[in-house]
């Protein structure tokens, strides 16, 4: 029987006071959903992401994610939790 466990990723834009939620079946979906959010934010809303703040969870610390952030000039900030 499939698991009914889900995860979510909450993105908060501190400047515009906007929130975006993605429901994820697997934590590994975080990177793809962030790339989708970035594309929407930069193309539709015409906003460039400068910083991303998150906990030190493995879903945010992959080499692929790190390389993507560096390529796009996005700086990392870690929370204390």
Share of the chain above pLDDT 90, in %: 31
pTM metric for this prediction: 0.79
Q: Does 29 or 4 have the greater pLDDT score?
A: 29
Domain boundaries along the sequence of the chain: 26-78
Q: Does 5 or 74 have the greater pLDDT score?
A: 74
pLDDT of residue 33: 92
- Classify residue 60 by burial, with Cβ atoms within 10 Å: 0-12, 13-18, 19+: buried
What's the pLDDT band for 81 if we cut at 50, 70, 90? low
Q: What is the chain's mean pLDDT, rounded?
A: 86
Eight-state DSSP code of residue 79: -
Is it the case that residue 72 has pLDDT exceeding 90? yes
């Amino acid at each position: 029987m499939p698991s009914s466990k889900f995860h979510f990723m909450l993105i908060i834009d501190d400047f515009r006071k906007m929130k975006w939620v993605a429901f994820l079946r697997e934590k590994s979906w975080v990177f793809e959903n962030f790339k989708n959010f970035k594309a929407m934010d930069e193309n539709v809303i015409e906003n460039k992401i400068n910083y991303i703040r998150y906990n030190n969870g493995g879903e945010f610390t992959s080499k692929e994610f790190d390389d993507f952030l560096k390529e796009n000039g996005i700086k990392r900030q870690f929370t204390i939790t």
